[in-house]
């Protein structure tokens, strides 16, 4: 075996190893970035305003008009807007794969689906009033994806599905 062939072989192995290492590092960084986004997601919803909005929206009867909701909300109109804006933003983030659909499902599937049932007519009224079909589009998209998931995979509460979990 001659020296140039040995050096060429070593160089080829070094390049292949470098490419594999770079790929692994890239995957690690992407996974870390997604985890940080999910942690930020959870922390951002641990605010008094979010909890107040959730409490208000969850207490609404289903299928109220925008006018009826605003009459019920009085000085708390901002809570509905905060709620809608939150799901709108998160819908975009899920669509862009910044947050995984399974994480959204784990954290918020219930509130998303329930609030869509409560606010669907509000959204339709808002679109008509503003002549803008894109109003709250990502909230609707996210709610529909959650409902699709639940139709394919039965909902099992964590206290049952993770009952045999061990440390």
How many CB atoms are closer than 10 A to CB 133?
10
The predicted structure's pLDDT at residue 81: 93
Would you give the distance in Å from CA 55 to the centre of its chain?
A: 20
pTM for the whole thing? 0.77
Q: Can you tell me the distance from the alpha carbon of 47 to that of 109, in angstroms, rounded to the nearest whole number?
A: 19
Q: Can you tell me the distance from the alpha carbon of 94 to that of 16, in angstroms, rounded to the nearest whole number?
A: 34
Half-sphere exposure of 43 (CA within 13 A, CB side): 6
pLDDT of the chain along its 167 residues, tens only?
687 777 888 888 888 888 888 888 988 888 888 778 777 777 767 789 999 999 999 999 999 999 999 998 888 889 999 999 999 999 998 999 888 898 888 889 999 999 999 999 999 999 999 999 999 999 999 999 999 999 998 888 889 888 898 88
The C-alpha R_g of the chain, in whole angstroms, comes to 24
């Amino acid at each position: 075996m001659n020296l140039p062939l040995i050096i060429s072989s070593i160089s080829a192995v070094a390049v292949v190893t470098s490419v594999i290492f770079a790929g692994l590092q890239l995957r690690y960084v992407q996974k870390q970035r997604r985890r940080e986004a999910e942690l930020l997601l959870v922390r951002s919803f641990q605010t008094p305003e979010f909890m107040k909005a959730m409490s208000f929206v969850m207490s609404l009867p289903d299928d109220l008009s925008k006018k009826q909701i605003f009459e019920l909300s009085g000085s708390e109109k901002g809570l509905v807007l905060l709620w809608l804006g939150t799901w709108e933003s998160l819908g975009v983030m899920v669509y862009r794969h910044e947050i995984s659909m399974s994480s959204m499902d784990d954290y918020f599937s219930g509130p998303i689906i329930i609030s869509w049932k409560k606010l669907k007519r509000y959204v339709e009224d808002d679109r008509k009033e503003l002549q803008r079909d894109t109003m709250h589009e990502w909230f609707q998209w996210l709610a529909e994806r959650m409902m699709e998931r639940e139709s394919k995979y039965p909902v099992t509460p964590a206290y049952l599905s993770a009952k045999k979990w061990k440390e």
